[in-house]
């Protein structure tokens, strides 16, 4: 594929707001996970909750979009000079030539949960101030981002569970290649809600301790929330040092609604397709940011895929011990973490992992590793076997 320039990124999660907060936490090995005190949830688990969203106020002209998901989106859009870069892009390309490609898993479903607590006791009617289309509706996130900047290009929301905000890179790249737009905002948001916390608990997938990917005693995920955004631009030439989207690979297991293919066939296909799109060999990759959810089956399946492509040499790790599993926002968050690894010459290790599972064969890193990093593969694998791998790197 023709590489695309990633000219600006922004991020917010339980590690803090802005790229520096996440980079510092990675360097200091400081986790954002804490015992769950979200709403009235009665679960013995850890979550990565973003502080202060209760006090965030949505811009007055977008008041109908007020919900936890869009509040977190607004905080993210205000970080790292992102809004200023979008304004500059509008001047360069025009508002109708910039696309918006968002990903989310549950969107603002918390807003509906809160509305149901206030249903009319006799009629069952939801409160008049509940705005479904602007809050829970899956498209509400892209609608919010588009209106926030006054953009008029194509806008799409992908909801493919945990691969959502990785797959939006592919949607944007195809639309740019087709000439539909010249630049694109990609990324997305997912926020904590009772549906996901109790839902994953009912599946027996929630750990009672901070998650520990690839550990022999791993017992499940820690849920989190976060937002991340990137500005993709089509440029005929790239300057040395610019961050690039080099390749994308997507596949579907077609195996099971919630369990990955046990041999990692779909994941392996996505990784290999991404390398092919980038015109790179496995030995050209310096680091693999794993999906690494910390469940028994997911880690085992991904390990077979990664080992099958890269063997036992390429360093890899999961960063979910820092942020928790951000579900629909995992792809963009971990893509940005991969870019931070390149910019800071730092491979983040794995928090909370003590004893590596001897059945897993990949070169999994527990400790941080300070070495030059030029190209990274970032994996995101969702329910239903929806797989996506990205190749990111600097222009030479």
pLDDT digits (tens, 9 = 90+) for 307-359: 999 999 999 999 999 999 999 999 999 999 999 999 999 999 999 999 999 99
What phi-psi label fits residue 229: left (phi over 0), alpha (psi between -120 and 50 degrees) or beta?
A: beta
- Which stretches does DSSP call E strand in 234-276? 243-252
Domain holding 166: CATH number? 3.40.47.10
Count of structural domains within the chain: 1
Q: How much is the pLDDT for 337?
A: 98
**20 pLDDT higher than 90:** yes
Alpha helices in the chain (DSSP H): 19-28, 68-77, 82-93, 109-116, 140-149, 164-177, 194-202, 265-278, 296-310, 320-323, 330-344
**396 pLDDT higher than 90:** no
Whole-angstrom Cα distance, residue 332 to residue 50?
16
Length of the chain: 396
The residue from 162, 181, 193, 388 that is catalytic is 162
Q: Which residues contact 36 (CB under 8 A, 6 or more apart)?
A: 43, 44, 45, 46, 47, 197
Residue 299: both structure tokens together: 């880690």
Q: How much is the pLDDT for 257?
A: 84
Residues 213 and 265 sit within 8 Å (Cβ to Cβ): no
Is 261 a catalytic site residue?
no
Is 325 a catalytic site residue?
yes
**54 pLDDT higher than 90:** yes
The residue from 261, 291, 316, 388 that is catalytic is 291
Task: Tell me the sheet residues that pair with 247.
Answer: 391
**Residue 41, phi then psi, degrees to nearest 5:** -65, 130
Expressed as residue numbers, the domain containing 177 is 4-395
pLDDT digits (tens, 9 = 90+) for 107-119: 999 999 999 999 9
């Amino acid at each position: 594929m023709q590489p695309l320039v990633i000219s600006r990124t922004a991020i917010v999660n339980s590690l803090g707001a802005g790229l520096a907060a996440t980079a510092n936490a990675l360097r200091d090995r400081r986790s954002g996970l804490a015992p769950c005190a979200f709403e009235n949830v009665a679960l013995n688990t850890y979550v990565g909750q973003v502080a202060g969203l209760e006090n965030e106020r949505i811009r007055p002209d977008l008041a109908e979009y007020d919900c936890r998901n869009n509040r977190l989106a607004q905080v993210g859009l205000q970080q790292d000079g992102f809004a200023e870069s979008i304004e500059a892009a509008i001047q360069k390309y025009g508002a109708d030539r910039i696309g918006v490609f968002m990903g989310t898993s549950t969107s603002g479903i918390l807003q509906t949960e809160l509305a149901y607590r206030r249903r009319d006791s006799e009629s069952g009617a939801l409160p008049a101030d509940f705005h479904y289309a602007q809050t829970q509706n899956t498209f509400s996130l892209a609608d919010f981002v588009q209106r926030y900047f006054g953009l008029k290009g194509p806008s799409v929301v992908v909801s493919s569970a945990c691969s959502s905000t990785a797959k939006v890179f592919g949607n944007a790249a195809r639309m740019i290649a087709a000439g539909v737009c010249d630049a694109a905002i990609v990324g997305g948001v997912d926020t904590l809600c009772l549906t996901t916390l109790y839902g994953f608990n009912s599946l027996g997938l929630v750990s009672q301790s901070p998650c520990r990917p690839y550990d022999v005693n791993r017992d499940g995920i820690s849920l989190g929330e976060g937002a991340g955004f990137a500005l993709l631009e089509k440029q005929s030439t790239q300057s040395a040092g610019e961050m690039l989207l080099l390749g994308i690979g997507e596949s579907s297991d077609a195996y099971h609604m919630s369990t990955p293919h046990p041999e990692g066939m779909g994941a392996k296909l996505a990784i290999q397709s991404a390398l092919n799109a980038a015109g790179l060999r496995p030995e050209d990759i310096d680091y693999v940011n794993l999906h690494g959810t910390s469940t028994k089956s997911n880690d085992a399946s991904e390990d077979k895929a990664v080992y099958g492509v890269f063997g036992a040499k390429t360093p890899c790790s999961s960063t979910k011990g820092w942020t928790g599993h951000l579900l629909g926002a995992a792809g963009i968050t971990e893509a940005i973490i991969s870019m931070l690894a390149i910019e800071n010459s730092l491979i983040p290790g794995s928090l909370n992992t003590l004893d590596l599972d001897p059945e897993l064969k990949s070169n999994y890193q527990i400790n941080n590793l300070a070495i030059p990093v030029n190209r990274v593969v970032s994996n995101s694998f969702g329910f239903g076997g929806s797989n996506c791998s990205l190749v990111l790197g600097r222009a030479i």
